[in-house]
């Protein structure tokens, strides 16, 4: 049985310089309460891994605005001019990863695999510095698995065993990231009694979740 903690307490668990996976796609499915608490705490030097950096003032973009981020690993930053400016000025290191490759690297990290073989990016700058492996006459890049110190998830419901459900397109990177981090902190919209969530509806089992964030009063 888990006791829910405040968003501020969750943010306090994440030291400066940590690597952090954040669910969300353009802010949908992003753990906004924990993000706001990290901004309020003045977190610094974070390496963030997510699909995108949303836009200024939205989702992961709030961390960019507040100067919390040192490195971004994402599939695109095209909707956030602040990320672009800070990349160009050298304030933030950015690794752009094709979206499918990003998902599979996280999946590999959570599954204990040694990497992913993909043809995506062969013959482009994505190939630079990567190991190329030939299979049946075709070339593939070896993309290494991604893991993080923390995964911050946004869920629709949680019970007090930590079982999670997600709603609609919030089921993006959240379930994948639950497997690929040393500490998983879930921010549910609602916490319900054990037994309310049908076993068939559980998308992330509670065995993976270390902390739940309480609902705001």
pLDDT at 1 (0 to 100): 65
Element at 37 (helix H, strand E):
helix 32-41
pLDDT confidence of 127, banded at 50, 70, 90?
Answer: confident
Distance in angstroms (rounded) separating the CA atoms of residues 217 and 214:
9
pLDDT at 125 (0 to 100): 85
pLDDT at 118 (0 to 100): 95
Mean pLDDT of the chain: 94
pLDDT at 77 (0 to 100): 95
Is there a contact between 126 and 141 (Cβ–Cβ < 8 Å)? yes
In this structure, how many other beta carbons lie within 10 angstroms of the beta carbon of residue 14? 21
pLDDT at 126 (0 to 100): 84
Q: Identify which of 53, 179, 35 has the alpha carbon closest to the alpha carbon of residue 105.
A: 179
Distance in angstroms (rounded) separating the CA atoms of residues 38 and 31:
11
Which of left, alpha, beta for 118 (phi over 0: left; psi -120 to 50: alpha)? Answer: beta
Q: Does pLDDT of 217 surpass 70?
A: no
Task: Report pLDDT digits (tens) over 106-115.
Answer: 999 999 999 9
| Structural domains of the chain in order of their starting residue, each with its CATH number | 7-212 (3.40.1080.10)
Task: Report pLDDT digits (tens) over 169-181.
Answer: 888 899 999 999 9
Interval 44-68 mean pLDDT: 96
Q: Does pLDDT of 67 surpass 80?
A: yes
pLDDT confidence of 215, banded at 50, 70, 90?
Answer: confident
Task: Report pLDDT digits (tens) over 12-22.
Answer: 999 999 999 99
Q: Does pLDDT of 100 surpass 80?
A: yes
């Amino acid at each position: 049985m888990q006791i829910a903690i405040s968003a501020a307490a969750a943010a306090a668990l994440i030291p400066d310089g940590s690597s952090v996976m954040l669910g969300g796609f353009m802010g949908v499915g992003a753990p906004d309460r924990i993000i706001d608490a990290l901004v309020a705490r003045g977190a610094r030097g974070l390496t963030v891994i997510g699909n995108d950096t949303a836009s200024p003032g939205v989702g992961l973009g709030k961390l960019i605005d507040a100067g919390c981020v040192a490195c971004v690993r994402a599939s695109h930053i095209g909707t956030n001019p602040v990320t672009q400016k800070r990349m160009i000025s050298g304030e933030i290191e950015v690794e752009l990863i094709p979206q499918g490759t990003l998902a599979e690297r996280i999946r590999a990290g959570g599954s204990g695999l040694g990497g992913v073989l993909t043809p995506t990016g062969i013959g482009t700058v994505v190939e630079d510095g990567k190991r190329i492996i030939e299979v049946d006459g075709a070339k593939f890049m070896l993309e290494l698995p991604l893991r993080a110190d923390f995964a911050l998830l946004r869920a629709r419901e949680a019970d007090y065993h930590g079982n999670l459900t997600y709603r609609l397109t919030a089921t993006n990177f959240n379930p994948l990231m639950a497997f690929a981090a040393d500490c998983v902190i879930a921010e549910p919209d609602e916490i319900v009694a054990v037994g309310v969530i049908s076993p068939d509806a559980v998308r992330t089992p509670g065995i993976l979740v270390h902390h739940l964030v309480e609902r705001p009063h």
